[in-house]
Structure formats: structure tokens, C-alpha cells
Amino acid sequence: MRMRNLVMLGLAVITVGACSSSATAAPAAGKAWNLTLIQGVAGDPFYVTMACGAQAEATKEGVKLNVTGGNKWDATVQKPVIDSVTAAKPDGVMVAPDDSKALLTPLKAMSDAGIKVTFVDTKLDDTSFAVSSISTDNLAGGTLAAKTLAQLINDKGTVLVVNVDPGISTTDARVKGFTDEMKNHPNVKVLDVQYTHDDPTAATTITTSILASNPDLAGVFATNVQNAEGVATGLKQASNTTVKTIAFDAGPKQIEDLNAGIVQGLIAQDPYGIGVAGVQQTVLALNHGTTTATIQTQLAAITKDNVNDPSVQKYLYKASCS
Ligand code: T6T
């Protein structure tokens, strides 16, 4: 079955999700504010691309931007990063918290120190003190992943979900969208969700061991860049050509795996647009403009068939801004 069939689902009309208000947010005249972007983890192509968008918008608006992040997806690693940014007292911060509960205290302290806080990508359960929360419609993306995978496996068989950690707003929503949709596919059995702590090597180990214990495995849903990379490595090492894989994100290695036919579909986000909107909302708040509490950016279903289409190029993540 060719992945053009994604379009036949009527869902993958290239983009899903409400349009962000970023297109209409007029930059108000203001000071040369100092902003900081705290990435969920440094070096991840999703956040590299988000930083490119944030920097482009910061330059456009004449504000300064610092970019920082921990070297691992871990709330205990991110907390001291948050604390040191608060101590440096920038005017505004765009932050992707690694855990929706554990980072409430340091982020509330940041806001209480008078720093405008905007959530980009991930968010806390408590968004009451944030200027804005900007993300993909992750629930819809998870639903789309399930519908697509169900179609690829002819609506029957065992499927595996490889996820980061529980307690992350984005990936939790993706899994919820996926598992809720699979309830409409009674002949598809979803195995217990496996967690990798954002480590591709763990995703490879999990894939290898689940393949050994479930030789009839039909499909995999990998919820982000690192999981997708690790799953693809596991399938390659097992020389498995039968399992169908759908993954969130569109990092450079994921595109290689898509083109090689190891992965059949990618639910790509618009991290560049999230970075742009993050700066816009934070600057609006600093200039006493009207901000938008929740912004959902678009996503795109990418397959081997449409990966070279001009319309999807903005959804492919960058390894660097140049
Ligand atoms: O999928 C993105 C991001 O949306 C998620 O919150 C964490 O993982 C990524 O950064 C990709 O690795």
C-alpha cells in the first residue's frame, strides 16, 4: 500500500491544527528587550529549528535572544538551567518544560521575579501565570498517527508505542490521541507503552526485545525524534521489512529513514513557527499588548511520496540555521 493513501484518510491534507495567531500579531514598538529561549533539550533538531525561528523573529523585532538548554531530557537537569536564567533576569523567557508538574516551582519563581514566561512546545499543567502556550495539536497528531498506522497494517495486528517519559504535555497528548483512536480498531492490539527517557539507544533495545517476544509485531508509533531514530535502528539491525512505523517529527535522520523505506510516515511539526510565535507573544506582553493564551501551530503528514513537495519543506527540521 502506498502512503499516498494517507491523503485518502481525509486527515492528512498536509496540515492539521488551528492556525496560529502569529501571522496577525503586529510587533509593537518597544524596547530592545532581553529574551531567553530554554529548550527542552539542547541539540535536538526540533529545538534547533525552534531557535532558528525565534532568532529570526528577535532580529526582526530588534530584541536580544539567548538560547540555552540542558544536555538531557530530564527535569532535574533543566531545573538549574531555569534557576540560572531567572538569576540573570532577562525580560522574557520562552521555555519548553521537561515535566508538566516538577518544574512548577522554579518557573513560578521566574514569573514572580517579574519575567514574562511563555510556554513553547511543552507546558506545565498550571498555565495560569504564562503569557501564552504555543504548541502543535499533539492530540490530533496522535489520532492521525493511529489512523495512518491502522490503515498501513490493514486494521489488524499488534502495535508498539515507544514514548519518552510520562508527565510530558506533548508526548502524553500524542499517546492519548493514538490509544483513544485505536479503540475504534478492535483488531489492533496496543502493547503497554514503553519509555526510553529520550534515549535512542533505549528505543533500539526496546524494539529489538519486543520484536523477539512478538514476532508478529505489525506496527510501531514512535512519539518523537529520538524514539523514531532508535526504532529505525532496531528494525534495521533485525533486518525487519514488515513492521510499519509512524513517527512524530521530521529530523534529518528521520527523513533519511523515510526515504530508505524503514519508516512509512512522519507527523511533522512546525518548530520554526513555534519559535516565531514565542518571541511575538513574549514581546507583545512586554509592550503591554494583547496576547493569545493558547496557540496551536500546524502539522504535516510527510511520506516518501510528498517529502520533496515545496508545500512540506517548511516542516522539515534543521540541523543548523544556515
Ligand atoms: O517532539 C519534539 C517535541 O515536540 C517534544 O516535546 C519533545 O521531543 C521533540 O523535541 C523531538 O525530539
Would you state the cell numbers that stand for residue 82, as one nine-digit string? 531555569
In this predicted structure, the answer to whether residue 106 has a pLDDT above a threshold of 50 is: yes
Match 539567548 to its residue by C-alpha cell: 66
Q: How far is the CA of 225 from the centre of ligand 1 (A)?
A: 7
**Mean pLDDT value across residues 224-236:** 98
Q: Burial, 322: exposed, middle or buried (Cβ in 10 Å; 0-12, 13-18, 19+)?
A: exposed
Pocket around ligand 1: residues whose beta carbon is below 6 Å from it?
A: 40, 44, 46-47, 121-122, 170-171, 224-226, 248-249, 269
The pLDDT value recorded for residue 29 is: 62
In this predicted structure, the answer to whether residue 10 has a pLDDT above a threshold of 80 is: no
In this predicted structure, the answer to whether residue 228 has a pLDDT above a threshold of 60 is: yes
Query: In whole angstroms, what is the distance from residue 121 CA to residue 174 CA?
Result: 13
Query: In whole angstroms, what is the distance from residue 133 CA to residue 269 CA?
Result: 15
Strands (E), the chain: 34-39, 64-69, 92-95, 116-120, 133-136, 157-163, 188-190, 194-195, 217-222, 244-248, 265-268, 294-297, 300-302
Q: Burial, 290: exposed, middle or buried (Cβ in 10 Å; 0-12, 13-18, 19+)?
A: exposed
Q: Which of 24-38, 101-115, 259-273 has the lowest mean pLDDT?
A: 24-38
Nearest-atom number in ligand 1 for the CA of 136 is 4
CB of 123 closer than 8 Å to CB of 133:
yes
**Mean pLDDT value across residues 51-63:** 98
Determine how β-strand 265-268 pairs with β-strand 300-302: antiparallel
Q: 138-152 vs 169-182: helix axis angle to the nearest 10?
A: 40
CATH number of 16-137+270-298: 3.40.50.2300
The pLDDT value recorded for residue 13 is: 28
Q: How far is the CA of 252 from the centre of ligand 1 (A)?
A: 14
Query: In whole angstroms, what is the distance from residue 232 CA to residue 228 CA?
Result: 6
- What value does the CA radius of gyration of the chain take, rounded to a whole number of Å? 19
Please list, in sequence order, all residues whose beta carbon lies within 8 angstroms of the beta carbon of residue 15, skipping any fewer than 6 positions away: 298, 299, 300
Query: In whole angstroms, what is the distance from residue 223 CA to residue 204 CA?
Result: 14
The pLDDT value recorded for residue 244 is: 98
**Mean pLDDT value across residues 273-300:** 97
CB of 281 closer than 8 Å to CB of 118:
yes
The pLDDT value recorded for residue 30 is: 72
Q: Which of 171, 226, 255, 315 to mutate to test the pocket of ligand 1 (most atoms within 8 A of CB)?
A: 171
Q: How far is the CA of 74 from the centre of ligand 1 (A)?
A: 13
Nearest-atom number in ligand 1 for the CA of 226 is 12
The half-sphere exposure of 282 on its side-chain side, counting CA atoms within 13 A, is: 34
CA angle 268, 202, 191 (to 5 degrees): 75
Query: In whole angstroms, what is the distance from residue 49 CA to residue 178 CA?
Result: 25
Q: How far is the CA of 81 from the centre of ligand 1 (A)?
A: 18
Q: Which of 18-27, 126-135, 306-315 has the lowest mean pLDDT?
A: 18-27
The pLDDT value recorded for residue 147 is: 98
In this predicted structure, the answer to whether residue 7 has a pLDDT above a threshold of 50 is: no
> Which whole-number Å values give the CA distances from 302 to 159, 234, 319, in the listed order?
20, 22, 18
CB of 233 closer than 8 Å to CB of 264:
no
Query: In whole angstroms, what is the distance from residue 104 CA to residue 126 CA?
Result: 8
Query: Which residue pairs, CB below 8 angstroms and at least 24 apart, start in 77-84?
Result: 78/38, 78/40, 78/103, 79/103, 79/106, 81/38, 82/38, 82/106, 82/107, 82/110, 83/109
Q: How far is the CA of 122 from the centre of ligand 1 (A)?
A: 8
In this predicted structure, the answer to whether residue 18 has a pLDDT above a threshold of 60 is: no
Domains 16-137+270-298 and 138-268 share a fold: yes
- Give SS3 for 46: helix
Domain boundaries, the chain: 16-137+270-298, 138-268
CA 162 to chain centre: 14
Alpha-carbon torsion 173, 220, 302, 314, what sign?
positive
The CATH number of domain 138-268, selected from 3.90.700.10, 3.40.50.2300, 3.10.20.30, 3.40.50.1220: 3.40.50.2300
Q: How far is the CA of 249 from the centre of ligand 1 (A)?
A: 7
Q: Which of 19-28, 154-163, 268-277 has the lowest mean pLDDT?
A: 19-28
